[in-house]
Amino acid sequence: MNVLSVDTSTNTLHLGLRSERGFEERMLELPMQHSQRLLAEIKELCARQEISLPELDLLVCTRGPGAFTSLRIGMACLKGIATATGKPLVSVPTLKALALSSGANRGAILSCIDARKKRYYLGLYDCEGNALMDDIDGNAENLVEVLSGYDLIHLTGPDAAAFANKLRPLLKERQELTVDRIGTRPLGLLLVDMGIEQFREHGADDIGQGPVYIRRSDAEEALLERLKEKAR
């Protein structure tokens, strides 16, 4: 089975390809460059495996939360390939992928991505990848109650270290907080596995599936504010 995966939810571009010839994943730091590099990197990855886009059997991308524009770029690119080739596309939760990539085998795993405006995208999972709460756009104070039942909390994701500094003073003495020493791990092949599992259990995404943002974009907030002003 030839499976391509992509994650564009942060400044790091993750790619993975599993084929009958083998597997490969790439991780590139590309702040503000996903739109310029993504398709070229996909073609190069497929060329090294001697696979054409129509020979792919499944496409996998993350659906968020994460950077608004970057998420749209990744999903739109794979939707274009899926439409052109007739191949299925599935999208998987970004924060779940980060939790599973940590390799933590006990306690609760908290995935952290900087959402700007002094807030974070936060997802809490067990070691099997089961969600322990809904993903949120929030801060440390929002987690004190939900984390009170866990003696060990492992933070992971690109912004885990920064969030740990905010969370640690709010925890009880008995609670142990550990932070992933590797801020950004390759996700390509993990996403391939997640995508295959999801496709087998639930099939391809609905054509209307879009990125999961959790909160409104600045443009949406500005539009709502203008509508409120008109209503007054």
> Which pLDDT tens digits describe the chain residue by residue (232 residues)?
999 999 999 999 999 999 988 999 999 998 888 999 999 999 999 999 999 999 999 999 999 999 999 999 999 999 999 999 999 999 999 999 999 999 999 999 999 999 998 999 999 999 999 999 999 999 999 999 999 999 999 999 999 999 999 999 999 999 999 999 998 999 999 999 999 999 999 999 998 899 998 876 555 555 556 666 667 6
Nearest alpha carbon to residue 6 among 23, 21, 27, 29: 27
CATH of 103-179, one of 3.40.50.10490, 3.30.420.140, 3.30.565.10, 3.40.50.80: 3.30.420.140
Backbone angles phi, psi at 64, to 5 degrees: 110, 180
Position 105 scores a pLDDT of 93
pTM above 0.75, yes or no: yes
Q: CA 138, 140, 143, 144: dihedral to nearest 10 degrees? A: -150
Domain ranges of the chain: 3-94+185-217, 103-179
pLDDT for residue 30: 86
Tell me what pLDDT residue 31 has.
84
Q: Which of 136, 140, 16, 6 is nearest to 63 (CA)?
A: 6
Task: Report whether the peptide linkage leading into residue 31 is cis, meaning its omega lies within 30 degrees of zero.
Answer: no
Distance CA 18, CA 5 (A): 9
Identify which of 167, 68, 155, 63 has the alpha carbon closest to the alpha carbon of residue 115.
Answer: 68
Q: Is 5 left (phi over 0), alpha (psi -120 to 50) or beta?
A: beta
CATH of 3-94+185-217, one of 3.40.30.10, 3.90.550.10, 3.30.420.40, 3.40.50.720: 3.30.420.40
